[in-house]
Amino acid sequence: MRVGTVILPEHSWRDARRIWRSVEDMGFDHAWTYDHLAWRSLRDGPWFDSLTTLAAAATATARISLGTLVASPNFRHPVTWAKAVMTLDDLSDGRVVAGVGAGGRGHDARALGRPELSPRDSADRFREFVELADRLLRGVEDDYRGRFYQAVNPASAPGCVQRPRVPFALAASGPRGFALAAEYAQTWVTNGDPRRFGEVPEAEGLALIAAQRRELVRACAAAGRTAELATLVNGSVVGDQPLASVERFVDFAGKCAEAGFTDLVVHYPRPDGPFAADLAVFERIASQALPVVRTM
């Protein structure tokens, strides 16, 4: 199992540079950041742009994979987003993973003055976003006319460092999302129950993500997909304090591996509030637990 961490884009770069470098030095396989204009209880505090943050992180690191967990169609357009992702792939020398979701409800959905979409329309928009971004990152420059997005003779040069394009990590929790992941993704991402973010007891959450993974496998079979799809779980949301100790982390990671997951992410510790944890324990987990978890 590979292990990554999520660094919220709340730090001034003078501090964030040290954090991004430190998680690479600790040995994590990948590092991510949220893509929101503001986030839940932290919306009144500092919050920086995810793509700009990743550009800086790309120049401050050398090995670790970098990505959005996940980009939001609520305020992103696939033409400009694909160009930014292509640039990040160049800056990082091919270390970017393009995480995308359907876009949640709340502030991000209302910030541009647009009406919030129904679940059906949100799923339709998600498909269009991924379909058009896939074309652009592969270098297809034909016009695109969708219900939500249009592109007229888009410029795709110079293309991605990673070929045929950067890998997609698609967040999905329902049948249409699983079908989309089966068609386009290299990694599937789950936060468990999106309606109860971080509120589901661990045993229930583990059972849910295992059931979701089984649905994903069925969607891949229905799509005739033979390439293996990586599966990533946000452990800080599904687990009950997975960063409490080295032993606790190894136990939780083992349960995720038993459920068939290839990748686990946990949040970089905050001093208080959401994702609060002890940084010293986090560092011990990196040095003592990661070698064990990688054998799972």
Task: Tell me the CATH class for 2-293.
Answer: alpha beta
Reported as a single tens digit per residue, the pLDDT across 108-122 is 889 899 888 999 999
Q: For position 107, what pLDDT does the model report?
A: 86
DSSP codes, 98-166: EEE----SSHHHHTTSPPPPPHHHHHHHHHHHHHHHHHHHTT--S-EE-SS-EESS---TT--SSSSSP
Peptide bond into 164 cis (omega under 30): yes
Helices (H) and strands (E) in the chain, counts: 11, 10
Structure tokens at 159: 């293309």
Domain boundaries, the chain: 2-293
Question: In the beta sheet, which residues pair with residue 151?
Answer: 144
* C-alpha distance across the termini of the chain, in Å: 6
Reported as a single tens digit per residue, the pLDDT across 54-108 is 999 999 999 999 999 999 999 999 999 999 999 999 999 999 999 999 998 888 8
pLDDT at 226 over 90: no
pTM: 0.96
Peptide bond into 70 cis (omega under 30): yes
Report CA 259 to chain centroid distance, whole Å.
19
